[in-house]
Amino acid sequence: MTAYIARRMVTAVFMLLAIAFVTIALFFGASKDPARAMCGKPCPAETKAKVSAYMQTDQSVVWQYGQFVKGLVAGRTYGEGAQQVECAAPCFGYSFPNRSDVTSLIGERLPVTLSLALGAAVLCLVVGIGLGALSAIRKGGMVDRFSTGFAMFGLSVPTFLVGLLVVQVFGFMLNVLPFSGFVPFSESPVDWAWHLIGPWMVLSFILAASYVRVTRTQLLNELSAEHLVAMTARGASPRQVNRHAVRGVMVPISAMFALDVTALLGGSVIAEKVFSLHGLGDLLLSGVNESDLSIVVGVTLFSAFLIIVGNLVVDLLMPLLDPRIRRA
C-alpha cells in the first residue's frame, strides 16, 4: 500500500513538471509578453528590453522552464543590486505586478476559495442526495418531477447566468443577501456564512444537478435489486435493507464528490468573479489579464496538484467501499 502511494506520488511529480512545461509553452505560444504589461504606458523598446531582462522573460521557453524547475529546488533571484528580488525555494515564480512570490499569493487567496468550496460541497451533497433520494423513493411523484426538472436546469444553465440571477433576485430585488465581499471566518463566522450563501447557492445548484441524477438512478437500481429482496427473504427489516441500499449509492457518490471537491478547491473563476470574491479563480483570471506568467503557472500547478491528489484519494477509497475493486 505504502509502495503504491509512493509510486503514485512520484508519477504525480513528473506529471506536474510536464504540466508546468505545457503551461509555460502555451503562455508564450499565445504571444503574451509580461514585460509589456509592466513597462508602463509610453513603453520605448529600450525600456521594455530592460524590463524583459529583469523579469527573465526574454529567454527561450526551454530556458524559462529550466529556471522554473531550478527555482523549485534552489530558489530564484531576479535582477541585481537595489532591485534584486529573492524568491526562496520552493519558488513557484514571482509575480511582478503584485510584488510578491506566487506561493504567498496563493496562501492569501486560499481561505476564500476554501470557504467557498467546502460550503458549496456540503450544500450540494445535502441537496443533491436529498432530492435524488426523495425522487427515487417516490418515483413519478411531485418531488421526482420537480427534481428531474431541477437537475436538467442545473446541468444546462451556465454558472454566470445562475450567479447573476441570484445576485439580481436576492441581492437587489429582495435585498436579503449581500452580493459581494468576503469576511474571514476568524473575524465573524456569521458574517462569513452570510456573505457566502449566495455563491454557495450558485455553485451547489450547478453541481447538485448531477448528484440528484446519480443518486436517483443508483437508488432506484438498489431498491429493485434482487439482493435486497434476498435480504428481506432472510428476515431483515426494511430499515436494515435500506441501510444496505444506501451503500450501493454511496460508492459512486463518494467518487464523484472527491473529484468535485478538488475541482472546487482549485478555484471557481466565474462564481468568484460574479460575487467579487478574491479567491484562486480570481487570482488566475487576473494573472491571465495582466500577462503574469508566474501566477498562471502557479495556480495551474496548484489546481493540477489537487486533482491528482483527488484522484489518488478516490483510487484509495474505492476498494474500501467496494470489495469488487479490491482484488481486481
Does position 128 bind another protein by CB under 8 A? no
Does position 232 bind another protein by CB under 8 A? yes
Q: Give the list of residues 6+ apart from residue 109 with CB closer than 8 angstroms, or none.
A: 267, 278, 279, 280, 282, 283
Q: Given candidates 172, 229, 276, 289, which one binds another protein under the rule CB under 8 A?
A: 229
Q: Given candidates 88, 247, 276, 289, which one binds another protein under the rule CB under 8 A?
A: 247
Closer residue to another protein, CB minimum distance, 161 or 229: 229
Residue 228 Cβ, how far from another protein at the closest point, in Å? Answer: 8
d(Cα 267, Cα 247) in Å, to the nearest integer?
A: 31
Does position 234 bind another protein by CB under 8 A? yes
Does position 142 bind another protein by CB under 8 A? no
- Specify the 3-state DSSP secondary structure of 213: helix
Total residues at the site for another protein (CB under 8 A)? 22
From 20-28, 36-44, 219-227, 277-285, give the range in contact with another protein by CB under 8 A. 219-227
Does position 230 bind another protein by CB under 8 A? yes
Does position 89 bind another protein by CB under 8 A? no
Residue 254 Cβ, how far from another protein at the closest point, in Å? Answer: 13
From 99-107, 158-166, 302-310, 320-328, give the range in contact with another protein by CB under 8 A. 320-328
Q: Given candidates 108, 191, 315, 322, which one binds another protein under the rule CB under 8 A?
A: 322
- Specify the 3-state DSSP secondary structure of 101: strand
Report H helices in 44-188. Answer: 45-55, 61-74, 102-137, 142-156, 159-166
Closer residue to another protein, CB minimum distance, 70 or 243: 243
Q: Residue 307 is which amino acid?
A: I
Does position 221 bind another protein by CB under 8 A? no
Q: Give the list of residues 6+ apart from residue 94 with CB closer than 8 angstroms, or none.
A: 76, 78, 85, 87, 100, 101, 102, 294
Backbone dihedral angles phi then psi of residue 85, each to the nearest 5 degrees:
-120, 130
Residue 325 Cβ, how far from another protein at the closest point, in Å? Answer: 10
Task: Give buried/exposed letters for 150-169 (b at 16+ CB in 10 A, else e).
Answer: bbeebeeeebeebbeebbee
d(Cα 271, Cα 112) in Å, to the nearest integer?
A: 12
Closer residue to another protein, CB minimum distance, 118 or 137: 137
Q: Given candidates 165, 225, 288, 309, which one binds another protein under the rule CB under 8 A?
A: 225
Which residues share a beta bridge with 101? Answer: 94
Residue 323 Cβ, how far from another protein at the closest point, in Å? Answer: 5
- Specify the 3-state DSSP secondary structure of 44: coil
Closer residue to another protein, CB minimum distance, 18 or 229: 229
Residue 319 Cβ, how far from another protein at the closest point, in Å? Answer: 12
Put residue 31 in one of left, alpha, beta given phi > 0 → left and psi -120 to 50 → alpha. left
Q: Given candidates 43, 236, 316, 318, which one binds another protein under the rule CB under 8 A?
A: 236
User: Do 253 and 218 meet the contact criterion of CB atoms below 8 Å apart?
Assistant: yes
Specify the length of the chain in residues: 328
Query: Which residues of the chain form contacts with another protein (CB under 8 A)?
Result: 225-237, 240, 244, 247-248, 321-324, 327
